[in-house]
Amino acid sequence: MQIELSSDRIRALLDIDPLFLPPYTSQILNLANQNAQGTRPRIVGQMSELIQEFTGRTVKEWEDWYLARHGDRLATAREKIRSMVAKIKEAINLIDDQIIDTWLRDLVIVKTFVGLRFQEAILSEIASKFKADYRLAVPDEESKGIDGFVGRIPVTIKPVTYRTKSQLQEQLPSVIVYYEKVKNDLRIELDETEFSTP
């Protein structure tokens, strides 16, 4: 049996009032907070540890407990987020058709090209290290999870976060090469022994 609980249902089960915010404000506040880092542990505290110290049962008790010990931290978080919202407002006022066109071209044209071709760059780099040819996979091979070949070795290219996805039980018929974006660069991880066969 599987049971799915929506966030609204969880709030109801825990006797927490529904959240009502005007349209788009939650997304804007999430973006502002992400950029301002207003709710990082160094600002509001390490919540996973604080909740362990809390002995109450209701959200009201939790609120009172937290505010009594760390209430000033919310003011710091609010100021960081408020400052970032002001910067976002300024940025929104700068957005015109030219900015939209520039952003749209970068997203649809450039990032698509880079996103698809960076696999080729990885294959080319690996092939040069092993003095082999490479090629990108054809659609039938792609449907099997293969991104390309180094020599005759099928290769799948995955982000390093792929390793941590416990629900992934797929068996790929290829050598897996991992990559991680580091600033403007790519870090590639591979097992050299898997490329030593002819």
Alpha-carbon distance of 118 to 180, in angstroms, equals: 12
What is residue 165's predicted lDDT score, i.e. its pLDDT?
62
pLDDT tens track for 124-157: 999 998 999 999 999 999 888 899 999 999 999 8
Take residue 114 and report the two structure tokens written for it: 């880079």
What is residue 1's predicted lDDT score, i.e. its pLDDT?
64
Tell which phi-psi region holds residue 145, choosing left (phi > 0), alpha (psi between -120 and 50) or beta.
left
What is residue 166's predicted lDDT score, i.e. its pLDDT?
46
Alpha-carbon distance of 175 to 149, in angstroms, equals: 9
- Over the chain, what HEC string results? CCCCCCHHHHHHHCCCCCCCCCCCHHHHHHHHHHHHCCCCHHHHCCHHHHHHHCCCCCHHHHHHHHHHHHHHHHHHHHHHHHHHHHHHHHHHHHCCHHHHHHHHHHHHHHHHHHHHHHHHHHHHHHHHHCCCCEEECCHHHHCCCCCEEECCEEEEEEEHHHHHCCCCCCCCCCEEEEEEEECCEEEEECCHHHHCCC
pLDDT(191) > 80: yes
Structural domain boundaries of the chain?
7-94, 118-195
What is residue 145's predicted lDDT score, i.e. its pLDDT?
86
Q: Residues 78-99, buried b or exposed e (16+ Cβ, 10 A)?
A: eebbeebbeebeeeeeeeeeee
Alpha-carbon distance of 123 to 186, in angstroms, equals: 13
What is residue 64's predicted lDDT score, i.e. its pLDDT?
95
What is residue 168's predicted lDDT score, i.e. its pLDDT?
52
Residue from 85, 93, 104 nearest 35 by CA = 85
pLDDT tens track for 25-72: 999 999 999 999 999 999 999 999 999 999 999 999 999 999 999 989
Beta bridge partners of 186: 181
What is residue 39's predicted lDDT score, i.e. its pLDDT?
95
pLDDT tens track for 77-112: 999 999 999 999 999 999 999 999 999 998 899 877
pLDDT(198) > 60: no
What is residue 55's predicted lDDT score, i.e. its pLDDT?
93
Q: Name the residue with tokens 């009172």.
A: 64
pLDDT tens track for 171-182: 677 888 888 887
pLDDT(19) > 90: no
